[in-house]
């Protein structure tokens, strides 16, 4: 059973790498795309490290603190520090925008400009904040009640499913040539790996309850 779970994890990782390679198969190294690709991969690795630390902190809050914090408490206790950190970045860091006649803008400047065009956009921003808080409560609950591995697999499943949905809706395009088949197979393999892992975990949990 343990070996099967490890195999599912390995398969999921391989499928994720193949998906990334398929997405970037048409990047030209000579035009500088290769360097951008390498920088992007490095940033993704750093984000994985940050996500792992976040999961460990959430798990510690739910299991080692006295009294422990549930997923709801964890989300809202962390909301203010995260908001202050992101607000500082939104005010200081400028980035390019795809608007004619505009140079680099900060996130605050982007928000002000969008508000001048359509003030109702702020309503959708607030709604998305509630949706994000709900999603974080759900993912933190998985970490505290099940395991960090399961939460990581769930995140990979969400990304793979989102890629598949985006392709079906025409928001994303398949890469040219054989890489199109590689990408579809990798996305489906990622989804199947998570499904297999979930079934094995459920069976293992049922067997543990039977023995006890």
Question: Do 126 and 72 meet the contact criterion of CB atoms below 8 Å apart?
Answer: no
Residue 100 has pLDDT above 50, yes or no: yes
> Residue 94 belongs to what H/E stretch?
strand 94-95
pTM of this structure: 0.62
Task: Write out the residue range of the structural domain in which residue 162 sits.
Answer: 1-26+147-204
Per the structure, the count of domains in the chain is: 1
For residue 127, what pLDDT band results from cuts at 50, 70 and 90? very high
Domain contains 188: yes
According to DSSP, residue 29 is labeled: T
For residue 58, what pLDDT band results from cuts at 50, 70 and 90? confident
pLDDT confidence of residue 42: 80
Burial readout 73-89 (b: 16 or more C-beta within 10 A, e: otherwise): bbbeebeeeeeeeeeee
Closest CA to 191 of 55, 2, 23, 11: 11
Mean residue pLDDT across the chain:
77
Residue 1 has pLDDT above 60, yes or no: no
Domain contains 191: yes
CB neighbours of 177 closer than 8 A, spacing ≥ 6?
25
Residue 96 has pLDDT above 90, yes or no: no
CB neighbours of 120 closer than 8 A, spacing ≥ 6?
none
The arithmetic mean of pLDDT across residues 163-176, rounded, is 77
Domain contains 6: yes
CB neighbours of 191 closer than 8 A, spacing ≥ 6?
157, 160, 161, 164
pLDDT confidence of residue 53: 81
> Residue 123 belongs to what H/E stretch?
helix 121-145
The arithmetic mean of pLDDT across residues 42-60, rounded, is 79
How far apart are alpha carbons 171 and 173 in whole angstroms? 7
Domain contains 65: no
Domain contains 180: yes
Interval 10-28: pLDDT, tens: 766 677 677 767 766 655 4
pLDDT confidence of residue 30: 44
């Amino acid at each position: 059973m343990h070996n099967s779970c490890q195999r599912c994890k390995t398969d999921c990782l391989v499928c994720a790498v193949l998906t990334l390679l398929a997405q970037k198969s048409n990047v030209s190294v000579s035009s500088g795309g290769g360097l951008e690709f390498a920088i992007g991969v490095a940033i993704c690795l750093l984000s994985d490290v940050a996500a792992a630390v976040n999961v460990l902190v959430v798990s510690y809050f739910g299991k080692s603190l006295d009294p422990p914090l549930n997923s709801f408490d964890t989300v809202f206790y962390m909301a203010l520090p995260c908001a202050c950190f992101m607000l500082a970045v939104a005010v200081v860091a400028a980035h390019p925008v795809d608007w004619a006649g505009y140079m680099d803008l900060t996130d605050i400047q982007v928000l002000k400009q969008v508000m001048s065009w359509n003030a109702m956009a702020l309503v959708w921003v607030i709604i998305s904040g509630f949706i994000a808080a709900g999603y974080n409560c759900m993912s933190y609950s998985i970490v505290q009640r099940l395991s960090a591995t399961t939460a990581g697999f769930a995140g990979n499943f969400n990304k793979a499913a989102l890629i598949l949905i985006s392709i079906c809706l025409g928001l994303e395009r398949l890469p040219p040539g054989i890489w199109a088949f590689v990408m579809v197979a990798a996305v489906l393999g990622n989804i199947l790996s998570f499904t297999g892992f979930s079934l094995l975990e459920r069976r293992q949990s049922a067997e543990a309850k039977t023995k006890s």
